[in-house]
Amino acid sequence: MIKDKLKKNLKRTLDKIGIKNVEPNIEIPSNLNFGDYSSSVALKLTKELKNNPLNIAQKIKDNLDKDDLIEKVEILKPGFINFWISKEYLARQAEKTAAGEFDIPEHHLGDQKKVMVEFAHPNTHKIFHIGHLRNITTGESIVRILEAVGNKIIRTNYQGDVGLHIAKCLYKLKAQSSNVKSLKTTKEKIEFIGKMYTEGSQAYETDEKAKEEILDINRKIYEKDPEILGLWEETRKWSLEYFSEIYKRVYTRFDQLYFESDMTKRGMEIVHEAVKNNILEKSEGAIIFDGKRYGIDTRVFINSLGFPTYEGKELALAEKEMSDFGELDKNIHCVTPEQTSFFKVTFKVEELIDGKKYKNKQYHLIYEWVNLKDGKMASRLGNIIAGDWILDKAKEKIIEKFKCEDKTAEILAVASVKYSFLKNSLKSAIAFDFDESISMEGNSGTYILYTYVRTQSLIKKSDSSIYRYIGQTVNSLNKDELILLRIINQFSEIVYNAAYNLSPNIVAAYLFNLCQKFNIFYQNCPILSAKETEKNFRLLITKSTGEIIKKGLDLLGIKTVDKM
């Protein structure tokens, strides 16, 4: 990797001028006018050397080993050292990329090179909503990016299949047994479940008698009472079939599905063991963790009714996740910020139970909500936006706009929705907009795919099968060609940065920039009609760009199309 080579050169240079044990930093500047790479190491050495950082930077530059990699080095105030990579090296890198070779550096979160990513998390008996769609889109991309930098990934999904929300749904379903039998399609079943949940929630809040019965149903679900077990199992199956269809639609699979109902018994056992070990304590008929001594919240693990809370069941889940697949370096939980306190407490309790197994192994990857114009979704009020409806609506608009066949429209719909999520930082709330997501004018999945289709069309029309460059070509590169070569060179380190920061938006931003620059290059530089030498080199750039777009979109969990 170029970054590593530059860093080694800088370290040798620092040794020459008497600076020991300093790790020089190398970054990709956001502005190409400041070089391909930049270092601020001179600014860090100001105090140590008691000298002006500009003078230090100049001394480093004067003592750098000369090699074929670096074409130019410049010093910029207040002390940055900027490096330009040689055009020949950039062309060689494009040649490799055109052949589908990506020199992506490795990044591991521990010695095992094994990471679990837990994502999706829908609750049975409820709609898979737009928030779940952002969750599964984020988790899938994180998985692919971590795999790209050399990790073994275990994909898991913890699904809530017990709890008060299900009792509310079954309360109304019990009175609709004849309607239940008449439902045939998955769509009919899920719409019916959604309606029952909404009505059950309203009854729970307005009718005391209904509330008592719902609480009794909740108890019977936990106890697996035959009176309710059959209906629970049947309707749970409906939800899982519905979820499975969505997972396939967005190209996601799981190595293990975990269920909340399987964690109840073991969760209670672990909680009681933790009480004996003075980790948890009894309080007013419940069992709690007093977090004050650790500067975190106090939370309940078994409630006063004797049922384990989410916290109690989480202890059983952690035990299984950390043992079912051998030793993990990290378990990444993709969950909204509302659960920050929950994870701080459960992670601490797990660490106190078994520090060797859990300490520094659990990680809460926070992503923000997808907000609607009228506020956050509230499924109990019946105004939830279903994830599959979002995909269907996007597909409908794409067919209307692009007049494409159904298969292509489906790929474009999934791409447009996924990209509209992934181009944003996980810390950013999103107001989803259909027109923006399928726009050809801005930062959208359809724009990225259109650019990919353009590269493939040019390649197909060229009838070329070899993409190489002739040495003298690089001596006459124009501005647009050189910019593209420099951006192509960044790809492997962009993927590394996305993995290091667990930020898919880094890849999305790079792809958008690459596509913008390619389309400028396409407008300004004749390709198929150019002279033979120029034509071959421009086809090399085109092929390389297409390969990167395809690989980058794959890392985002997005498929490509050959025509639009």
Tens of pLDDT along 333-355?
Answer: 999 999 999 999 999 999 999 99
For 80, the 3-state DSSP assignment is strand
Q: Backbone dihedral region of 179: left (phi > 0), alpha (psi from -120 to 50 degrees) or beta? A: alpha
Q: Average pLDDT for residues 102-127, to the nearest whole number?
A: 96
Q: What is the pLDDT averaged over residues 81-108? A: 95
From 1.10.3720.10, 3.30.1360.70, 3.30.930.10, 3.40.718.10, which CATH number describes the 2-85 domain?
A: 3.30.1360.70
224-252, pLDDT tens digit by residue?
A: 999 999 999 999 999 999 999 999 999 99
Residue 46 has pLDDT above 90, yes or no: no
Question: Residue 24 in contact with residue 11, Cβ under 8 Å?
Answer: yes
Of all residues in the chain, the percent with pLDDT exceeding 90 is 86
Please provide the DSSP assignment of 413-442 as one string.
HHHHHHHHHHTS-TTS-EE--HHHHT-SSS
Hey, what's the torsion of the CAs at 12, 16, 21, 24, to 10 degrees? Answer: -50
Stretch(es) of the chain classified as CATH 3.30.1360.70: 2-85
Residue 468 has pLDDT above 90, yes or no: no
Is a pLDDT exceeding 70 seen at residue 379? no
Q: Calculate mean pLDDT across residues 31-57.
A: 89
Q: What does the pLDDT read at residue 459? A: 95
Helix axes 532-555, 479-501, angle to 10 degrees: 20
Mind giving me the DSSP string for 477-542?
Answer: --HHHHHHHHHHHHHHHHHHHHHHHT-HHHHHHHHHHHHHHHHHHHHHS-STTS-HHHHHHHHHHH
Q: For the domain with range 394-555, which CATH number is right: 3.30.70.980, 1.10.357.10, 1.20.120.1200, 1.10.730.10?
A: 1.10.730.10
Q: Residue 377 has what pLDDT?
A: 54
pLDDT digit string (tens) for 257-316? 999 999 999 999 999 999 999 999 999 999 999 999 999 999 999 999 898 999 999 999
| Contact predicate 94/521, CB 8 Å | no
Residues of the chain with CATH 1.10.730.10: 394-555
Q: How far apart are CA 274 and CA 285, in angstroms?
A: 16
Q: How far apart are CA 244 and CA 252, in angstroms?
A: 9
Contact 417, 435 (CB under 8 A): no
Q: What is the pLDDT of residue 382?
A: 59
| pTM: predicted TM-score of the whole model, two decimal places | 0.95
Q: How many residues does the chain have?
A: 564
Q: If you ran DSSP here, which 8-state letter would residue 29 be given?
A: -
The pLDDT value given to residue 231: 94
Vertex 267: Cα angle to 265 and 270 (nearest 5) = 115
Per-residue pLDDT reduced to its tens digit, 171-195: 999 988 777 778 989 999 999 998 9
